[in-house]
Each structure stands twice: as structure tokens, then as C-alpha cells.
């Protein structure tokens, strides 16, 4: 659904164009230099992320809460994803009960602030609290355990995305473009990828169909693809983005940016698959995201849309 609906938008879009020659050039440079990193789950950086190999339920709960809150850091200058990951890790190590069903059911904006472990105000803290409170409710059908939710997918990454979207309304990241539904499911897909990464492709993360996931339509990778010359914004859109003007959520420009990003990564993966058979859009995403994070101060700004999906 994500791949097909994004491709349909990319085909007719007028605000954003994909450059196929630029994709071929980047694919050639990746083939030459980064091939090894693009096959198999990335190492789960335990300096940033929580992991307790003796307590898979706690590790899975960390991933679900992490990706329930993994969006929209940009309104607070200096706040970023890493602060969420490390803040959550510190809270969990201090008190494993902090993410219990009782604790999450009563989540407040003040609790969200504590989970981030930052002085600065967390944007959309009330929405984030509401997403935390959804978790116990959605887990009830899976025995109250994230382990039960993951097991219900029977080692299918695609099935787990569907189960997450079904169980938790906050993960239903979709839009309407010229009358038709467009699916992104960025946080649901990144949750599945984080389970894959946290368990190194084994145990609860032993999915047989990771290649069915797409990249995660956030706000960092489109900016990276634009820097690489892979995405081109029409003049009016380029001016708005470069001036830091917000794009309305669900507007044509915002949906085209996200859809073209998904489609561009699918085209890149298609260009690389013959020489890198195990490549997935997930590992390509992680490579592009880390390049985007590393280069963000030198790049033109990312687009700004106030939305609780990415």
C-alpha cells in the first residue's frame, strides 16, 4: 500500500520531481564504497538505545514507546531524536516500571517531559501523552505484552506493520492526495525496523520479509535526497522550504515530498539490487538518514510540517 500509493503520487506530482540520472550516480557511488553496510540489520547502538537481552519484553516495549514518540522535534531548536532515545533509555534503566501499562495509561505531558529528560519544552507533548496512553489499550488484544503483538505477526514484518496500525490509532500515518488515500506508516515501519535492529535480525526480530518495508518518510531524508540532486522542488516550494515556512499537513506539496522520497529510495534500491541482492529499503534509509544527520548543518533546511506522524 505504501509503495503503490507513493508511486502513484510521484508519477503525477508537480511540486517535486525525481532525477533518475542522479539516482544512477548515487547508486554507482554506493556500489563502490558502502556496499557492506547496506545488507542486514544495522548495529543497534546501545550508547543511544536501550537493550536488555535477558528481558526481551522490556526491549520491545522500549522500541514501541520510542517510535510512538519519534516525531516532530524541529519546533524546539536543538531538540533531536537522540535525546528521545537516550532519555527513554535512562528512565528505563532507572525504573523498569516506568513503561508499565499502569504508568503509560496515566501518561501526562509532564511525564513525556520526564521521559525526554530535557529542560526544553517537548513539542506536541499532549499528543505524545495521548499516544502513550493508547499503548495498554492496544496491547490488550495481545495479552498485554509487546511480545504478544510481535508474535502475532508470525515473523512477517509487513504483518507487524498492519497489526501496529490496527492496534494504535496514533500510528495511522496516511493522507489523501487528489481524492485518493496515500499510506506512509512511517513510525509503524520504523518500529518494525527497530525490532529487527535491536535483536540483530534474530529472536523477535527474525522477520522473513524485511524487504517488503519501505524507507521511513521523515523530514531528514527528503532534505538529504534534495542535497544529492535526487529530489528537485518547484520554485515556489523551494522558496517556502528554504525560508523555513511551514507546509500544511496533508497539503499537495507535503504529500508529494514524502511520496517522492519513498519512490526515490525504491528506485535506488532497484538500481542496487542486482549487485547487492540483500539490500533493503530499511538499510538504505538508515544510510541516507545518517548521512542527512551528519550533514544537516551544511544542507538546505528540511521542510517543516507540524504533524504527529514523523
Ligand X SMILES: Nc1nc2c(c(CN[C@H]3C=C[C@H](O)[C@@H]3O)cn2[C@@H]2O[C@H](COP(=O)(O)O)[C@@H](O)[C@H]2O)c(=O)[nH]1
When asked if residue 197 is in the footprint of ligand X (CB under 6 A), the reply is yes
When asked if residue 219 is in the footprint of ligand X (CB under 6 A), the reply is yes
Nearest to 157 by CA among 219, 224, 211: 211
C-alpha of 164 from chain center: 14
When asked if residue 194 is in the footprint of ligand X (CB under 6 A), the reply is yes
The answer to whether 281 touches 185, Cβ cutoff 8 Å, is no
Cβ-Cβ contacts under 8 Å for 270 (sequence gap 6 or more): none
When asked if residue 63 is in the footprint of ligand X (CB under 6 A), the reply is no
When asked if residue 216 is in the footprint of ligand X (CB under 6 A), the reply is yes
Considering only the stretches 94-102, 137-145, 171-179, 214-222, report the one whose residues sit in contact with ligand X under the rule CB under 6 A.
214-222
Rounded Cα gap, residues 219 and 254, in angstroms: 10
In the beta sheet, which residues pair with residue 231?
Answer: 18
Q: Which is nearer to ligand X, 252 or 285 (CB)?
A: 285
Q: Candidates 11, 12, 14, 45: give the one binding ligand X (CB under 6 A).
A: 45
Nearest to 190 by CA among 85, 301, 103, 291: 85
Considering only the stretches 2-10, 26-34, 218-226, 227-235, report the one whose residues sit in contact with ligand X under the rule CB under 6 A.
218-226
In angstroms, what is the minimal distance from the CB of 140 to ligand X?
A: 27
What DSSP designation does 303 have?
Answer: P
Q: Candidates 8, 22, 35, 42: give the one binding ligand X (CB under 6 A).
A: 42
The answer to whether 202 touches 148, Cβ cutoff 8 Å, is no
Residue nearest to ligand X (CB): 80
Considering only the stretches 65-73, 86-94, 135-143, 158-166, report the one whose residues sit in contact with ligand X under the rule CB under 6 A.
65-73
Active site residue 95: no
For cell 522490556, name the residue. Answer: 58
When asked if residue 263 is in the footprint of ligand X (CB under 6 A), the reply is no
Q: Which is nearer to ligand X, 12 or 66 (CB)?
A: 66
Beta pairing, strands 180-183 & 16-18: unpaired
Catalytic site residue from 67, 173, 194, 218: 218
The answer to whether 27 touches 34, Cβ cutoff 8 Å, is no
Please provide residue 110's backbone torsions phi and psi, each rounded to the nearest 5 degrees.
-65, -35
The residues of the shown chain that bind ligand X, judged by CB under 6 A, are 42, 45, 70-71, 73-74, 80-81, 190, 194, 197, 215-216, 218-221, 285-286, 289, 293, 310
Amino acid at each position: 500500500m505504501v509503495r503503490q500509493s507513493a508511486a502513484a503520487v510521484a508519477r503525477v506530482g508537480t511540486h517535486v520531481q525525481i532525477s533518475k540520472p542522479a539516482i544512477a550516480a548515487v547508486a554507482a557511488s554506493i556500489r563502490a564504497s558502502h556496499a557492506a553496510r547496506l545488507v542486514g540489520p544495522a548495529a543497534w547502538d546501545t550508547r543511544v538505545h536501550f537493550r536488555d537481552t535477558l528481558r526481551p519484553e522490556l526491549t520491545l516495549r522500549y522500541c514501541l514507546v520510542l517510535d510512538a514518540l519519534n516525531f516532530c522535534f524541529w519546533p524546539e531548536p536543538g531538540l533531536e531524536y537522540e535525546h528521545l532515545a537516550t532519555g527513554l533509555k535512562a528512565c528505563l534503566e532507572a525504573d523498569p516500571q516506568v513503561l508499565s501499562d499502569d504508568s503509560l495509561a496515566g501518561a501526562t505531558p509532564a511525564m513525556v517531559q520526564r521521559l525526554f529528560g530535557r529542560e526544553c519544552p517537548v513539542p506536541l507533548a499532549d499528543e505524545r501523552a495521548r499516544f502513550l496512553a493508547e499503548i495498554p489499550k492496544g496491547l490488550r488484544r495481545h495479552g498485554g505484552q509487546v511480545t504478544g503483538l510481535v508474535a502475532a505477526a508470525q515473523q512477517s514484518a509487513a504483518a507487524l506493520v498492519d497489526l501496529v496500525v490496527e492496534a494504535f490509532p496514533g500510528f495511522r500515518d496516511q493522507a489523501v492526495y487528489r481524492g485518493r488515500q496515500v499510506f506512509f506508516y512511517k513510525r509503524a515501519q520504523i518500529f518494525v525496523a527497530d525490532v529487527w535492529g535491536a535483536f540483530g535480525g534474530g529472536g523477535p526480530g527474525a522477520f522473513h520479509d524485511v524487504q517488503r518495508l519501505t524507507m521511513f518518510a521523515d523530514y531528514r531524508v527528503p532534505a538529504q535526497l534534495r542535497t544529492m540532486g535526487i529530489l528537485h522542488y518547484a520554485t515556489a516550494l523551494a522558496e517556502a522550504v528554504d525560508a523555513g515556512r511551514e507546509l500544511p499537513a496533508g497539503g499537495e506539496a507535503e504529500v508529494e515530498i514524502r511520496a517522492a522520497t519513498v519512490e526515490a529510495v525504491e528506485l535506488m534500491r532497484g538500481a542496487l539490487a542486482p549487485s547487492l541482492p540483500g539490500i533493503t529499503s530499511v538499510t538504505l534509509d538508515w544510510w541516507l538518514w545518517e548521512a542527512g544527520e551528519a550533514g544537516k548543518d551544511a544542507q538546505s533546511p528540511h521542510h517543516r510540517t507540524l504533524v504527529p506522524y514523523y
